[in-house]
Chains A and B, each alone.
Chain A
Amino acid sequence: DQQVKQNSPSLSVQEGRISILNCDYTNSMFDYFLWYKKYPAEGPTFLISISSIKDKNEDGRFTVFLNKSAKHLSLHIVPSQPGDSAVYFCAASGAGNMLTFGGGTRLMVKP
Chain B
Amino acid sequence: NAGVMQNPRHLVRRRGQEARLRCSPMKGHSHVYWYRQLPEEGLKFMVYLQKENIIDESGMPKERFSAEFPKEGPSILRIQQVVRGDSAAYFCASSPPTGSHEQYFGPGTRLTVT
Contacts and interface: CB of A to CB of B under 8 A. Distances in A.
Q: Chain A's interface: helix, strand, loop or mixed, by majority?
A: strand
Interface string A69-111: 0000000000000000000010101001111111110000000
Interface string A43-82: 1111001000000000000000000000000000000000
Interface residues of B, number: 27
A99 B43 CA distance: 9
B103 interface: yes
A96 B108 CA distance: 23
A43 B105 contact: yes
A91 B91 CA distance: 15
Among B56, B101, B104, chain A packs the most CB atoms within 10 A around the CB of B101
Interface of B: 4, 6, 31, 33, 35, 41-45, 48, 55-56, 58-59, 91, 93, 95, 101-108, 110
